[in-house]
Amino acid sequence: MTKVALTIAGSDSGGGAGIQADLRTFAFHCVHGVSALTCVTAQNTLGVSAVEAISVAMVIKQIEAILQDFEINAVKTGMLLNGTIIEAVAQQLKQRHLSQLVVDPVMVSRTGAKLLNQQAIDSLKQLLIPQALIVTPNRYEAQLLSEMEINTIEDMKQAANKIYHNLRAKVVLVKGGGMSGSLKGVDVWFDGNEYELLRGTIVDTKNTHGTGCTLSAAIAANLALEKDLYSAVQAAKNYVTTALQHSLNLGAGNGPVGHFFPLLS
């Protein structure tokens, strides 16, 4: 029986991140992808030039249409843009008891663009993160959520601990793509008991656009395929590393990762 994963996220017109990355990742895992679009970005490999929200009513309609017709095996959220959309999404997920939930708290893009307004950060903290099976902040998002600066592995651990306790997330994965030197690509897992360091090979490329979206979508796909959470994270980490090794040198800025690397010659 084909498994189904839902992404609730924004569109990246440049095709590297957002819903486009999520659906490619689901397809790679042979999981059927369904999607509820929250916003449209005018974006390319150089950055985001405009953002427009989808109406909250339309976000809800998309989720309702999907849930009326499909059994959903896992969900990921990405760019949610504003507090009203976050509140509606959090309410829908709670009502439907969708617990296989990966929250990628998209707030700031790699190119520095703010992808979530200030009031929305509070709704994310109060309403969505507590429902998540796992939350996957990057370095900058973890700094905002933990209200501390992150420069070392010890800092990453402390931030994960704070996010776990203050925001009641079940598992926190602080991602290391934004760290420098030998720490780049080391992710810190904290489940309330153990810290685990997930180390991938460091890939020397500027084409890293969409790594975070791809990682969280791959975790959701592996959960849909009935892996346990830690195995799903390990498999997703391996997938992102290989996709980075096959990243695409497209555009003048940060190109996308190569989601379908086995098809490349």
Ligand X SMILES: Nc1ncnc2c1ncn2[C@@H]1O[C@H](COP(=O)(O)OP(=O)(O)OP(=O)(O)O)[C@@H](O)[C@H]1O
Ligand Y SMILES: Cc1ncc(COP(=O)(O)O)c(N)n1
Q: Which residue has the tokens 């760290």?
A: 179
Q: What residue type is 69 in one-letter code?
A: D
10 binds, among ligand X, ligand Y, none (CB under 5 to 8 A by kind): ligand Y
Which one from 10, 185, 200, 210 is the annotated catalytic residue?
210
25-54 mask for ligand Y (x: CB under 6 A)?
----------------x-x-----------
Binding of ligand Y by 210 (CB under 6 A) = yes
Q: Residue 34: beta bridge partners?
A: 6
Query: Could you say which of ligand Y, ligand X, none residue 79 binds, taking C-beta under 5 to 8 angstroms by partner kind?
Result: ligand Y
Exactly one of 42, 56, 60, 202 binds ligand X (CB under 6 A); which one? 202
208: annotated active-site residue? yes
Residue 15 touches which of ligand Y, ligand X, none (Cβ within 5-8 Å per kind): none
Least distance (Å) between residue 202 CB and ligand X: 5
Torsion of CA 199, 139, 157, 161, to 10 degrees: -130
**Nearest residue to 254 (alpha-carbon basis) of 178, 187, 186:** 178
With binding defined as CB under 6 A, does residue 203 bind ligand X?
Answer: yes
Comparing CA positions, the residue from 34, 31, 33, 39 lying closest to residue 13 is 39
Q: What does the alpha-carbon distance between residue 36 and residue 51 come to, in Å, rounded to a whole number?
A: 16
Q: Is 175 a catalytic residue?
A: yes
> Is residue 211 annotated as part of the catalytic site, yes or no?
yes
Query: Does the annotation mark 7 as catalytic?
Result: no
Residue in 92, 96, 95, 167 with CA at minimum distance from that of residue 134: 167
What are phi and psi for residue 102, nearest 5 degrees? Answer: -105, 120
Residues 225-244, interacting with ligand X (CB under 6 A): 237, 240-241, 244
* Total residue count of the chain as it appears in this document: 265
Place of tokens 């959090």: 90
85: phi then psi, degrees, rounded to nearest 5: -65, -40
**Chain centroid to CA 39: how far?**
15
Residues numbered 105 to 124 that lie near ligand Y (CB under 6 A) are 106, 109-110, 115
Our finding on whether 77 is near ligand Y (CB under 6 A) is no
Contact range with ligand X by CB under 6 A, out of 45-53, 126-134, 148-156, 212-220? 212-220
Under the binding rule (CB under 6 A), the answer on residue 187 touching ligand X is yes
- Residue pair 16/45 in contact by the 8 Å Cβ criterion: yes
d(CA 219, CA 227): 9
Residue 102 and residue 132 in contact, taking contact as beta carbons nearer than 8 Å:
yes
Active-site residue flag, 212: yes
Question: Exactly one of 38, 45, 77, 208 is catalytic; which is it?
Answer: 208
Active site residue 84: no
Q: Which residues bind ligand Y (CB under 6 A)?
A: 9-12, 17-18, 41, 43, 78-79, 106, 109-110, 115, 209-210, 212-213
Cite the active site residues. Answer: 175, 208, 210-213
Q: Which residues bind ligand X (CB under 6 A)?
A: 17, 109-110, 138, 175-178, 184-185, 187, 200, 202-203, 208-213, 215, 237, 240-241, 244
